[in-house]
Amino acid sequence: MYLAPMAGVTDVIFRQICKELGADVMVTEFVSAEGIMQADARTRKYTEFTDEQRPVGVQLFGGDGERMGEAARKIIDWKRPDFIDINFGCPVNKVVAKNGGSSLLKDCPVLSSVASGVVRAVGGQVPVTAKMRIGWDETSVNAVEVAGILEDCGMSAIAVHGRTRSQGYGGAADWEVIDAVARAVSIPVIGNGDLTCGADVLRRKHQTAVSGVMIGRAAMQNPWVFREAKHFLETGTESPGIGLEERWELVVRHCRLAVGSVRYGDENQTLTAMRSRLMAYCKGFPGAKELRQKLCHVASVGEVEDLAAISIRRAELADL
């Protein structure tokens, strides 16, 4: 079970949390090949991981096979990741405008040159994988064709997010197309899109030919999803729900770990950067609306701890 790469979310700390909670394979947030080539310290930080998180892939985006290849080699020299992953799925304009991410789904010759450029440069030191969407828009769903090209270029596995670029994150992921890709190629295909619990994972594993699954947004709200899904796959039953106190413990721990790392700067900046993450964790908590309003303003771990104590106390009183 993979934790999906999510820029601004799956940093080294969140990956550690998901690993502890049962995610098997992780991919870093995407980094631009150009940023790596310029040895940009910030870009380099995005590729951070710890040995406990292995197997870890570092994800690169870019539209030039040679530069991508050089960047991949640099990363291997720095960090020895377990694999290099190429992003053919990012829908963001900034990335697409630079011929990166999902724009390559519209240009198979360039896509192929990027994939083979990386494979050639890496020279078998580590496997190269790809992550893609199913096409540019609904009139050009070409995932089966693209996956065939990627296989021929030497990709070792492909993760497929079952949406087109124009869908963004709207509509539902199309698992029929994911299944068609998994049947069309002989390398492992990892299915991705809208998985939120063990029952979803089991259903997709039964109904499709995927070799593995990848979970993204559901983990932002509920990083226990990996442990819960594994329990469900093993026993066919739901695991007992995670209580409010345990959820808050994780929220506070995440804040402390983030403040302890130097990624975002001082405590105030760190908590400011984490506010949207905190709101994701607290979706579905009792009094979520009021909590969200407060979380918009937190600037220290102490404030989060205070909110946690109040929230737990209120829930206890409501149970009396």
Closest CA to 137 of 114, 170, 94: 170
Task: Check: CB of residue 56 under 8 Å from CB of residue 84.
Answer: no
141, 164 contact by CB (below 8 A): yes
State the residue number with the nearest CB to ligand FMN.
Answer: 216
8 Å CB contact between 111 and 105: yes
> Mask 81-120, x = binds ligand FMN (CB under 6 A)?
------x-xx------------------------------
Name the minimum Å distance from CB 317 to ligand FMN. 35
Pick 143 or 312: Cβ nearer ligand FMN: 143
Find the Cα–Cα–Cα–Cα dihedral 121, 68, 86, 258, rounded to 10°: 110
Q: Show the CA angle centred on residue 76, arms to residues 19 and 110, nearest 5°.
A: 100
Q: Does 30 bind ligand FMN (CB under 6 A)?
A: yes
Choose, from 90, 153, 255, 282, the residue flagged as catalytic: 90
Cβ distance 217 to 8 under 8 Å? no
Longest dimension (CA), the chain: 65
**Which member of 15, 19, 67, 131 binds ligand FMN (CB under 6 A)?**
131
DSSP secondary structure string, 34-74? HHHHTT-HHHHHHT---GGG-SEEEEEE-S-HHHHHHHHHH
CB of 125 to ligand FMN, least distance (A): 22
* Among positions 58, 105, 215, 301, the unique one binding ligand FMN when judged by CB under 6 A: 215
Sequence-separated (6 or more) residues with CB below 8 Å from residue 67: 33, 34, 37
Residue (215 or 258) nearer to ligand FMN, CB: 215
Residue whose CB is less far from ligand FMN, 163 or 301: 163
Residue 170 vs 240, nearer CB to ligand FMN = 170
Distance from C-alpha of 42 to C-alpha of 59, rounded to nearest angstrom: 15
User: Contact with ligand FMN (CB under 6 A): which of 29, 151, 179, 200?
Assistant: 29
Of 217 and 314, nearer to ligand FMN (C-beta) is 217
Active site residue 18: no
Residues 42-81, mask of contacts with ligand FMN (x by CB under 6 A): -----------------x----------------------
Secondary structure element (H or E) that encloses residue 222, with its range? none
Query: Between 61 and 248, whose beta carbon lies closer to ligand FMN?
Result: 61
Q: How far is the CB of 148 from ligand FMN (least distance, A)?
A: 20
- Element (H or E) spanning 188, and its range? none
Just list the catalytic residues. Answer: 90
- Residues lying near ligand FMN in the complex (CB under 6 A): 4-9, 29-30, 59, 87, 89-90, 131, 161, 192-195, 215-218
